Chain A
Amino acid sequence: MRLTKITTVAAVLTAGAAVAEIVAPGDVVFDEYGAIEKSLTGVAGDPANGEKIMVTKSKGNCIACHEVTALDYAPFHGEVGPILDGVGSRWNEAELRGIIAFAKMTYEGSMMPNFYQVEGFIRPGDGFTGKAGTEPLPPLLAAQEIEDVVAYLLTLEDE
């Protein structure tokens, strides 16, 4: 009984610590190439959830612009960005985190949205309503969702 209680307390403590560890969009630290070394949450990414985010229109909607052979069960892959096959072999975790969170730090002027940026926009909107939004906006993807997508991308290795 006593033991269970202690473990519960410990669990609560770690959960609390994990929440406290979320790196806010404005506090993200980049290296000179735009990579982000430190996890945004301190919690390992879940590749299965990352895969879901990639194909979900209201989430990452990544396939709107990218083709991914492993995701060809999902309809309508776009051609705006490069094919992501083998991307986990081309980039390491920190680089991928940088590309997803703030693509424009790695690729100047990129068409790819910054999924973790919340302010500094021209005419920021309230989602897809066409009405004005108030900065800071919610990020396009939450910190853990970005970690999940990174974890999924790391599974896309060259044969």
Chain B
Amino acid sequence: MKIKTLSAIAAMLVSTPFVAVADEADKDANLVVNGEVELVTRAPAPAHLEGAVDEVISGWLFRTSETQSLQMDDFDNPGMIFVDQAMDDWGTAVGSEGKSCADCHGAVEDSMEGVRAVYPKWNETAGEVRTVAQMINECRTDRMGADALGYTSAAMARMEALISMQSRGMPVNVAIDGPAQETWEWGKELYYTRTGQLQMSCANCHEDNYGNNIRADHLSQGQINGFPVYRLKNAKLTTPHGRFKGCVRDTRAETYGTGSDAFVALELYVASRGNGLSVEGVSVRN
């Protein structure tokens, strides 16, 4: 502990005055949560990324040691409050059918284990790729007689967080072939499309420039294995589509809608770029 603090101070001292001191990342850190759950934050890139990147890296490694440490203990992780709230939601009956999630699914620890790791996923009945958020809303509207939750609402984000927690430590492993392939190809096209007046694509920032600073921000690979993330900036959980929207907006573009087919496709593609990294449950970012 003492040594870590010292090296953090040393890192601050050597950094040049105008580089954001608060953004010194510890790139060699290991992510072990509660001293027991070991998470993979670097992995060989999946085959489909050949020629693009050799290694896939969790966004956690690009954050400061202070931000990193908040994710290493569930008592320090501010996102866990929302997981607790979602645990209450899980057991609470809502809608005209008078049912709770637990009434159909039982214990979340059992029924939702491994779910997050393989989503977005082809849904045979629907005949399209579905996200976890869409599946949550399908249960609410079709089986519980309740209203759909707002796609990036607080209630949705925390339910996604609870479900993600049941896959913590499992490798992301979304399928990109078979019936999902067409959606994946579209997501890939969107990833490389240079939008807006700034004419930038996801790849410009997160493939060509990860590790570089853009103004005060230290660019990561834009992975979503840690989502939903708790952001210190606004003290809330952020979902993948919420993040995508912000990034597209920052290119001075008209964004796509959260929950839109385009963002579902993009989510599948971005998730596939993290195949091999651990699901982090609820990560912490600045």
**A interface residues, Cβ below 8 angstroms from B:** 57, 61, 63-65, 72, 74-80, 104, 111, 113-114, 117, 121-133, 137, 140
Contact = CB atoms under 8 A, between A and B. Distances in A.
Given A72-B17, A121-B197, A123-B196, A65 B214 contact: yes
B253 interface: yes
B48 to A, nearest CB: 22
Given A114-B199, A122-B194, A124-B196, A130 B254 contact: yes
Given A80-B209, A125-B197, A63 B253 contact: no
A111 B195 contact: no
Given A114-B199, A130-B249, 15 more contacts: A65-B214, A74-B18, A76-B19, A76-B215, A104-B199, A121-B195, A123-B248, A123-B254, A124-B253, A125-B249, A125-B254, A128-B249, A129-B249, A131-B254, A137-B197
Interface in B179-237: 193-200, 204, 208-209, 212-216
Contact of A113 (B20, B199, B249, B253): B199
A147 to B, nearest CB: 20
A121 B199 contact: yes
B245 interface: yes
Interface of B: 17-20, 193-200, 204, 208-209, 212-216, 245, 248-255
B212 A122 contact: no
Contacts of A57: 215
A111 B216 CA distance: 18
A78 B214 contact: yes
Interface of B: prevailing SS:
loop
A72 B194 contact: no
A78 B205 CA distance: 12
Contacts of B250: 128
Contact of A77 (B18, B194, B199, B200): B18
A86 B248 CA distance: 34
A17 to B, nearest CB: 30
A137 to B, nearest CB: 6
Given A122-B253, A124-B253, A130-B248, A79 B197 contact: no
B197 A140 contact: yes
20 contacts: A65-B214, A76-B18, A78-B215, A80-B212, A80-B213, A111-B204, A113-B197, A121-B196, A122-B194, A122-B195, A122-B196, A123-B195, A124-B196, A124-B197, A129-B249, A130-B245, A130-B248, A130-B249, A131-B254, A140-B197
Contacts of A64: 214-215
A104 B17 CA distance: 32
B217 to A, nearest CB: 9
Contacts of A114: 199
Contacts of A80: 209, 212-214
Contacts of B193: 122
A140 to B, nearest CB: 7
Nearest to A138: B197
A123 B193 CA distance: 10
Contacts of A74: 18
A61 B249 CA distance: 17
Contacts of B214: 64-65, 78-80
